[in-house]
């Protein structure tokens, strides 16, 4: 017995969030806000399980927002608004929680500072369309790989 299309979509969204969050999150954390490799990779490591569990519901939430705001291809400003709103309301709290969890097991001298965390959060919201582009690209790949019918 195979998976239903709905379950395939759920798994594809989860995998897409896990895969897309690595280059996007590390690029911002290390590239812009000078977190160390250890700080950033520990955030990604903590986030993998959460992204996998949360990716499916987040994909459903994003699609609901797109329908609610009547976004269509080519509306770049509206895309930025929907993506930023989706990230700020749907993922930012999870990102903060995961960074806080790293403080439980990362040595004190290697932990991200509140200044780094604050700047990363603001940047993540402002650049949400970039992360969303990566998520959508990974989502299309996993839809294809798992045979999701649109």
Give per-residue pLDDT as tens, 85-141. Answer: 887 787 777 777 777 777 777 777 777 777 877 887 788 778 877 888 888 899 899
Arithmetic mean of pLDDT, 50-56: 80
% of the chain surpassing 70 pLDDT: 99
For residue 1, pLDDT over 70 is answered with no
Helices (H) and strands (E) in the chain, counts: 6, 0
CA neighbor of 135 nearest in space, from 39, 49, 16? 16
For residue 26, pLDDT over 60 is answered with yes
Rounded to whole angstroms, how far apart are CA atoms 143 and 150?
A: 9
């Amino acid at each position: 017995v195979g998976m239903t299309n709905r379950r395939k979509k759920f798994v594809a969204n989860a995998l897409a969030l896990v895969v897309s969050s690595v280059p996007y999150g590390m690029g911002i954390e290390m590239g812009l806000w000078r977190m160390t490799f250890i700080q950033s990779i520990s955030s990604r490591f903590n986030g993998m399980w959460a992204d996998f569990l949360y990716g499916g519901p987040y994909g459903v939430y994003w699609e609901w927002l797109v329908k609610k705001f009547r976004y269509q291809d080519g509306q770049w400003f509206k895309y930025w608004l929907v993506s930023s709103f989706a990230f700020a309301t749907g993922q930012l709290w999870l990102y903060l929680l995961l960074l806080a969890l790293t403080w439980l097991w990362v040595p004190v001298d290697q932990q991200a500072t509140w200044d780094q965390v604050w700047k990363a959060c603001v940047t993540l919201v402002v650049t949400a369309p970039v992360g969303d582009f990566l998520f959508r690209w990974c989502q299309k790949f996993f839809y294809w790989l798992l045979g999701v019918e649109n």
